Amino acid sequence: MPTSEYDGNGNGLTRIEVGDDEEGHPTVKAQTIDELHSLQKKKSAPSTPKGTFPASNSVFTEERNKQQLESISASLASLTRESGPKVVKGDPAARKFEGSRVEHVPHQILTPTIAVSDSALKFTHVLYNLSPAELYEQAIKYEKGSFITSTGALATLSGAKTGRCPRDKRVVKDDVTKNELWWGKGSPNIEMDEHSFMVNRERAVDYLNSLDKVFVNDQFLNWDPENKIKVRIVSARAYHSLFMHNMCIRPTPEELENFGTPDFTIYNAGQFPCNRYTHYMTSSTSIDLSLARKEMVILGTQYAGEMKKGLFSLMHYLMPKRQILSLHSGCNMGKGGDVALFFGLSGTGKTTLSTDHNRYLIGDDEHCWSESGVSNIEGGCYAKCIDLSRENEPDIWNAIKFGTVLENVVFDEHFREVDYTDKSVTENTRAAYPIEYIPNVKLPCVGPHPKNVILLACDAFGVLPPVSRLNLSQTMYHFISGYTALVAGTEEGIEEPKATFSACFGAAFIMLHPTKYAAMLAEKMQNHGANGWLVNTGWSGGSYGCGNRIKLSYTRKIIDAIHSGSLLDAEYKKTEIFGLEIPNKVEGVPSEILEPENTWSDKQAYKDTLLKLAGLFNKNFETFTIGENNQVTEEILAAGPIIGDA
């Protein structure tokens, strides 16, 4: 029964006794709405490593949090001040934060020392290794242009930049890197000095420290446990944090507790521009890499792909030092353990063809080939979304769900259904998702030595065969060339096919001279008996605008024949000019399209176009010098097109 109580003024108030509801279920044990909300979440289960402070876990957890914050404060330290910023874990919008705080972390002082600034008087709130659900909440609440799509993915905008800015990438040239890296004509490495890097680093760190909160991800690169790299990403957007959560290898709680000092750190201050008056700057955007400091700074671009590919550049430097070949390739494995590598530039089908529901996916983009086999560098996939369909790419389609980041896509304003054909924001729409979203992923993402090395080219000139068997020298030649073709509509002003060459099928990311990677690939292929193939996913029966794109179903049949080994038993015919060996038959593929000349009605136009493309190959190869071994030089040059035989 209700009873009466009196307030301080003697007024009678009715107190309701809390008991069971009408169906006998206990009611909530809360007196206020805030108390009710506090019951909604519970602490994650502790994950203390075995043998570490088992009897005093709370003390250990406090100490662990303090050590993590000290490490993060040190990462965010301005090098012209006495200490790192004050940091505390937790969202500044929340009412409570985790217990640990770090006031300042002293470090070596570089003169001149600047007096205490306003940012030194505040706490920077650290959102550390948040879960996808937490990052969704941050993005939806605080980042304009963030929406949940009908399949549960997070749609975001990358701002003014919807792709990478290779002309704004800089690498510090010092006494070591000036001799180790590839500089000059054809190289992607544009130099900057250490002072200019430090100016940009200071600008990025000051910007990040001025914010109420920053996102910090501690993660790994490379699934090979013997060659794992620890990376820390400090960013200002939940979008960037979720992107890297998906793309890097996610640590277990135990690994996170023992993470320690990172091997490499990214400072992503992409919402803030660089100072165009800084030496070596040519725009308000700059992506700067210091191999000596093991740091990367991003200013003036919010495109998340800069982080992914910046780390790839790092691996292209670190891994060859360990005699490990870093590769811009897809990789999958058959049920019998046969591994295939897929090389190809954007639009060649590398991601599509390496994602095969009949085979285990090791990775779609970045790999290492060591003495123990292949390993994926990443923990996720970054797939192009333009014209994506369930019919053509079911695995990628089904991977776009909760946790996936969708970049720059257009969707229905009411139902939030994505229109993958819409290019209103950009043609470079992307999906970033954890690799385990692919149902047939191989976990851990490692495999034995490759059996097949497949070089993909989207030949819009229509003169390369749908498939060719390559000898070792030809594989090296086409690997160094890295050919594909752009077509009208992909870039402004293109009215006919335009050949593009990217050394090692990833010139924008390699750090050493292409021939060093090619020599390592040749050695590994020879040592482990791998076969080389050139597959054209482009045009047949004429160039772009006249011929037709080779059907994806035909290309899949060709790839299936490579995997099964049946193509090794086929009869081959050698083509003129390029000297490529083409099979007379591939099961499921019309035989008439296997030899390109057969599909052209105008035979003279075919020969003219073939000679034109051969000339472009030869001109491109003039960029490269093939080391000191003249025999290797002659062998590889001879593997290219020979116009004199026409």
- Active-site annotation, residues: 164, 309, 328, 346, 350-351, 365, 430
What is d(CA 385, CA 435) in angstroms, rounded to the nearest whole number? 16
- Measured torsion, CA atoms of residues 562, 592, 542, 393, in degrees rounded to the nearest 10: -40
Proportion of the chain in helix, strand, coil states, percent, rounded to 5: 30, 25, 45
The amino acid that residue 266 corresponds to is I
Evaluate whether 209 touches 78 at the Cβ level (below 8 Å). Answer: yes
The amino acid that residue 183 corresponds to is W
Q: Where are the alpha helices (DSSP H) in 463-533?
A: 472-481, 514-528
Cβ contacts of 498 within 8 Å, gap of 6 or more: 460, 485, 486, 487, 491
Evaluate whether 191 touches 173 at the Cβ level (below 8 Å). Answer: yes
Q: How many degrees, rounded to 5, is the angle at CA 42 between CA 41 and CA 44?
A: 125
CB atoms within 10 A of CB 480: 26
What sign results for the dihedral spanned by CA atoms 547, 548, 549, 550? negative
What is d(CA 217, CA 104) in angstroms, rounded to the nearest whole number? 20
What is d(CA 70, CA 253) in angstroms, rounded to the nearest whole number? 19
What is d(CA 109, CA 103) in angstroms, rounded to the nearest whole number? 17
What is d(CA 434, CA 141) in angstroms, rounded to the nearest whole number? 23
Evaluate whether 327 touches 319 at the Cβ level (below 8 Å). Answer: no
What sign results for the dihedral spanned by CA atoms 485, 588, 561, 638? negative
Helix or strand run (H / E) with residue 634:
helix 630-638
Q: Which residues pair with 455 in a beta bridge?
A: 343, 534
Coil, helix or strand for 469?
A: strand
CB atoms within 10 A of CB 508: 15
Evaluate whether 82 touches 113 at the Cβ level (below 8 Å). Answer: yes
CB atoms within 10 A of CB 10: 6
The tokens for 239 are 């979008």
Ramachandran angles phi, psi of 139, nearest 5°: -65, -50
Ramachandran angles phi, psi of 76, nearest 5°: -90, 5
The amino acid that residue 1 corresponds to is M
What is d(CA 301, CA 165) in angstroms, rounded to the nearest whole number? 8
- Measured torsion, CA atoms of residues 26, 32, 37, 42, in degrees rounded to the nearest 10: -70
Q: Which residues pair with 97 in a beta bridge?
A: none
